[in-house]
Amino acid sequence: MAELLKIKDLQVHFFTDYGVVKAVDGIDLTLQEGEALGILGESGCGKSMTALAVMGLVPFPGRITGGEIIFAGRDLCRLTEKEMRRIRGKEIAMIFQDPLTTLNPVLKVGEQITEAIRLHHEEGDLSPASGRRGFFRFWEDRRRREMAAWKKAVEMMEKVGIPSPELRMEEYPHQFSGGMRQRAMIAIALSCNPRLLIADELTTALDVTIQAQILDLMRRIKEDFRTSILFISHDLGAISELCDRAAVMYAGKIVETGSVQEITGAPFHPYTQGILASIPRLGEKEYRIKPIPGNVPDLGDLPAGCSFFPRCPYGQAKCKTELPPLEEAGEGRQVRCFYWRQIRAQREEEGGIGGELSFAGD
């Protein structure tokens, strides 16, 4: 498998009136061709900003202040806006969290799909040029392109499971249900056969049954289209359903990476453990949900040492002053904690799996 996306020491900073907010603070990620990578983390830990940085759409007053985003051999940070436009939508597509607000309410769904198709397909790509010459040729070609884009859009809507797509093309987003809008959005994103699909909190705004359907659809996309997926979520369940590997982010940094089995089965970082422990389980005697105490620190005013230290049950004096490095902890596995070895040892001793390890003082 070839490397499709490699993010090196990426930094996205926001220059606000109250100081610099380090939304993404030096993260490294790699994504193989055909792989699905999950990024897990609480709200406000920089997941979405990482995605927007890859798209080159970091909103003002934010800026990519350092690092590289190598996509298929090219550093996206160095591309001009015009070059970036050719990549957006065509090579890297992105789908957003809230299907209710992501489709333009005043444009027909069909128009919103064909727009992307017309934009990225070359003229000959959609349909061969007509035999006519001269004045009419322009209109003829245009009409053919539009027809071809229309056909392609209908096909895409069918593929993502929207019933009677021809009729639905003529409707406005408000005539679609939430799940159908999500599908329409996925159809738009896939319409140009992107190599990388970024899904930002794709299932968060949907109810559980629809979530399952959409995840199912995503899995099919991964297999049928061979699209690599960067799946951003705070829902470990969704990530473990879809992804091969996962990266856990906390306060703009990656704290743990590994295969989904490793992350969910044997997390080394206390934060990952906290996330796992906070998932309610069937058949448990304790009915209360165990949250991680405290909140994500203010990204404009991060502690000097480990940013998880204030909430960490294992915290030592060293953690307060020194930033732990991202250490290799096995094949394709990285952890940003000074004490991950001890945690692993303790885990093996107890023979427990994620969630059953109790926090000190809990």
Partner 1 sequence: MTINLTQFINRLLQTIPVVIGVTLIVFSLMHLTPGDPVEIMMGQGSVTEGEIQRIREELGLHLPLPIQYFRFVTGIFKGDLGYSIYYRQPAGEVIFARLPATFELMVVAMIISLAIALPLGLISAVRQYSLVDKIGTIGALLGVSMPGFWLGLLLIMAFSVNWIFPVAGRIDFGMAPQRITGLYLLDSILTFNWPSFWSALRHILLPAITLGMSMTALTMKTIRSSMLEVIREDYITFARAKGLSRSQVVLKHALKNALIPTVTVITLNMGVLLGGNMIVETVFGWPGLGSLVVNAIFNRDYPLVQASVLIYAITFIICNLLADFLYTVLNPRVKF
Which residues of this protein are in contact with partner 1, per CB under 8 A? 52, 55, 57, 59, 85-90, 93-94, 96-98, 101-107, 115-116, 119-120, 172, 174, 185, 188
Q: Using alpha carbons, select from 315, 334, 188 the residue that is nearest to residue 248.
A: 334
Where helices occur in 129-207 by DSSP H, the ranges are: 135-159, 165-169, 178-190
CB of 288 to partner 1, least distance (A): 35
CB of 103 to partner 1, least distance (A): 6
Identity of the residue, 94 or 357, whose beta carbon is nearer to partner 1 in the bound complex:
94
CB of 100 to partner 1, least distance (A): 9
Separation CA 57–CA 62 (nearest Å): 10
CB of 113 to partner 1, least distance (A): 10
CB 340 within 8 A of CB 269: yes
Identity of the residue, 119 or 279, whose beta carbon is nearer to partner 1 in the bound complex:
119
Separation CA 306–CA 47 (nearest Å): 18
Q: Using alpha carbons, select from 204, 150, 154, 206 the residue that is nearest to residue 180.
A: 206
**65 three-class SS:** strand
Separation CA 68–CA 250 (nearest Å): 20
Identity of the residue, 24 or 184, whose beta carbon is nearer to partner 1 in the bound complex:
184
CB of 172 to partner 1, least distance (A): 4
Other CB atoms within a 10 A radius of the CB of residue 79 amount to 16
CB of 174 to partner 1, least distance (A): 5
Residues 305-340 as b/e (b if ≥16 CB within 10 A, e otherwise) read bbbbbebbebbeeebeeebbebeebeeebbbbbbbb
Identity of the residue, 114 or 264, whose beta carbon is nearer to partner 1 in the bound complex:
114
CB of 45 to partner 1, least distance (A): 19
Identity of the residue, 107 or 353, whose beta carbon is nearer to partner 1 in the bound complex:
107
CB 47 within 8 A of CB 41: yes
CB 129 within 8 A of CB 143: no
Separation CA 27–CA 233 (nearest Å): 17
Identity of the residue, 76 or 275, whose beta carbon is nearer to partner 1 in the bound complex:
76
CB of 175 to partner 1, least distance (A): 9
Identity of the residue, 191 or 273, whose beta carbon is nearer to partner 1 in the bound complex:
191
The pairing of beta strand 74-75 with beta strand 92-95:
unpaired
Identity of the residue, 64 or 254, whose beta carbon is nearer to partner 1 in the bound complex:
64
CB of 335 to partner 1, least distance (A): 33
Identity of the residue, 13 or 118, whose beta carbon is nearer to partner 1 in the bound complex:
118
Residues 6+ apart with CB under 8 A from 330: 258, 262
CB 153 within 8 A of CB 112: no
Q: Using the Cα atoms of residue 334, residue 336, residue 337 and residue 343 in order, give the sign of their dihedral.
A: negative
